[in-house]
Structure 1
């Protein structure tokens, strides 16, 4: 049996010019820092490997690390991923046409790995129709240098679908907690399960190499077989991390916290102190009023993940609802920001792929998402903000199939300052950028498709609440202290329908 254990430098030497590599992770969770940084170092010193195609499902960076190591012109010629909001160098390269860039829905990418592993030519799904993923609109192409169409429109029994083609993988880079010399891999100390095995089997379908970075090397036969996530026969090379505190962190903010991988449960008094009433919490408070008891909830990044769970606990609603995140976690206390996707005191955890099966199929009862723009047709842009191509992540998978979609956003952007208190809202300084526009910069969510599917949709801001109706987008509530003409209609590029029963938002929302 060959020796599978090698150094990070030796692993980097295995990457060939013009090859396709795939990485597995989310934010910085399970990022193979040792291997990725060694590939970067080799390229900067030798200009090889070059002209790579990089494939990744979730976003994998904390603004500095993860796939940021590969963001160099010449190192990667094409990127196929879902999200770059925490990868500023990638967003800059995409915006500057320094790399061909395709954004595909995160859930469709993890499902594609399974379809590839099964020997299929690709994945057929309705997810992405009527959005920028649709080839009739942009085909997922994120800049002008990206020419080739890789997403196709299909029709089966009078129903429209998108076809996502298989992507032959030459090298897959994954991370685990422990491995033996045969390559049997566990992920016990990782904060989420991710889509490790489907990606491994997808690579193997094409004869690809699998490189695994680990924290511990253990004696052969010492691993519980039920804990082995990837059998050793599927792993070609093992890299033992030499500096785990830097290069094998559980997540960006923590080297290792046993509460985030379910080893312990922390006191319920940790992490749930009441947060002060600011504009984000105000928006979250109004949004939470839309929850029905018994609902299964999804939280997206930004305002939703950062405040909704906290408010649910403050209102003693936690026992009557189930909070989920696209990474596969259920319940608990969610982390946010650069640590999106993990939580303490979870009730359960499933894989990323299994979670997306639920989101794409049955669909959650209610999802909370951030938003950048809203237009007269109820279309929402959350994926291209100005010149910044953040990408979709799981946004499209989740919003197209949820029973109720609630967007949480400030009314304007860039410089907005408000005062909240005494039962009303005061605008101290108006934002310089309008979010209510005639036509969104990119269609991440289709208002027309929502009407066709009879889907509930609300757009909640600090001063106004909109609802999607069969007649169109309707203003249904305004904040106390706000002037309808001056503070709302004059700051919109279009005039919405105005409810005959236009209401004031509950004054208690504006009281600490």
Structure 2
């Protein structure tokens, strides 16, 4: 059986995002964030989105472009501390923000990719993070029920890919990208280089191509990627 070539333009791949979708975006600060795909999202213009990302990047970078374009209804994240504009949107009620402890966000995404309904955790009990959440008692101990997270689309950044969609991440870009690749109905990855089949050694693959629907090769790295120049 011949494996398919999943290469696509960013514009054609991003066209799969619709108004009202939930979109997971990989990255931890700059590392692993798909800045070019985010730019294509802004140009595409689908709105009323729920964005799942570890952070809101800094002003005039990444997710901030989505916020300034008015495309985001809700943001599920761990912190906004580097983005004063995102904080202003939250405080004014223009964007609904749901905060998670970083490990909890990662585990909720992992649970979504594994087909689980959620996870149990005692993190946040007795704090604002627990408000409105269900609890259960197991062996005499109380836990919060943290529901699994899935998305309509996930956007990832890879160092290398092959045409089938096998992905290799560089260093700390492995953060949320592998988890999100398993937790979305449609997975779109940008890659700094796209190799023929066999171009990636089996041991170098972090995300298997079976999880990836579209691959777009980056022709250049914008200044947003400069922090991770290698």
Which of 218, 221, 226 lines up with 2:203 in the alignment?
A: 226
Q: CA deviation at 1:171?
A: 0.4
Alignment CA distance shift 1:168-1:192 (3 Å): closer
Report what 1:20 is aligned to.
22
TM-score, structure 2 as length reference:
0.91
Where does 1:228-243 land on structure 2 (aligned, <5 Å)?
228-243=205-220
Structure 1: gaps spanning 5 or more residues:
44-48, 136-148, 258-512
Alpha-carbon distance in 1 for matches of 2:208, 2:168: 9
SS of 2:130's equivalent in the other structure is coil
Q: CA deviation at 1:2?
A: 4.5
Where does 1:461-500 land on structure 2 (aligned, <5 Å)?
none
Which of 140, 150, 159 lines up with 1:168 in the alignment?
A: 150
Report what 2:176 is aligned to.
195
SS of 2:151's equivalent in the other structure is coil
2:99 is equivalent to residue 103 of structure 1? yes
Alpha-carbon distance in 2 for matches of 1:183, 1:30: 16
Alpha-carbon distance in 1 for matches of 2:22, 2:68: 16
Q: CA deviation at 1:179?
A: 0.8
Alignment CA distance shift 1:88-1:8 (3 Å): farther
SS of 1:39's equivalent in the other structure is helix
Superposed CA offset, 1:208-259 (max 9, x none) = 1011111001121021111101111111001111221435x2xx5x3413xx
Which protein has the larger Cα radius of gyration, Structure 1 or Structure 2? 1
Q: CA deviation at 1:192?
A: 4.2
Report what 2:167 is aligned to.
185
Alignment CA distance shift 1:245-1:53 (3 Å): closer
Superposed CA offset, 1:442-478 (max 9, x none) = xxxxxxxxxxxxxxxxxxxxxxxxxxxxxxxxxxxxx
Large movers: runs of 4+ above 3 Å: none
SS of 2:128's equivalent in the other structure is coil
Superposed CA offset, 1:356-388 (max 9, x none) = xxxxxxxxxxxxxxxxxxxxxxxxxxxxxxxxx
Alignment CA distance shift 1:191-1:256 (3 Å): farther
SS of 2:182's equivalent in the other structure is helix
Superposed CA offset, 1:10-53 (max 9, x none) = 2222211111110111111111011101111222xxxxx11111
Superposed CA offset, 1:178-203 (max 9, x none) = 11111111113x44421322222222
RMSD value, Cα: 1.9
Report what 1:35 is aligned to.
37
Q: CA deviation at 1:61?
A: 1.2
Alpha-carbon distance in 1 for matches of 2:167, 2:113: 19
Alpha-carbon distance in 2 for matches of 1:215, 1:60: 23
Q: Does the aligned pair in 2 maintain the 1:213–1:239 contact within 8 Å?
A: yes
2:72 is equivalent to residue 76 of structure 1? yes
Q: CA deviation at 1:118?
A: 2.2
Q: CA deviation at 1:7?
A: 1.8
Alpha-carbon distance in 2 for matches of 1:42, 1:155: 46
Alignment CA distance shift 1:11-1:246 (3 Å): farther
Alpha-carbon distance in 2 for matches of 1:226, 1:197: 15
Q: CA deviation at 1:74?
A: 4.5
TM-score, structure 1 as length reference:
0.42
Report what 1:8 is aligned to.
10
2:112 is equivalent to residue 116 of structure 1? yes
Q: Does the aligned pair in 1 maintain the 2:32–2:177 contact within 8 Å?
A: no
Q: Does the aligned pair in 1 maintain the 2:23–2:155 contact within 8 Å?
A: yes
Structure 2: gaps spanning 5 or more residues:
none
Q: Does the aligned pair in 1 maintain the 2:28–2:176 contact within 8 Å?
A: no
Report what 1:256 is aligned to.
229
Alpha-carbon distance in 2 for matches of 1:102, 1:111: 15
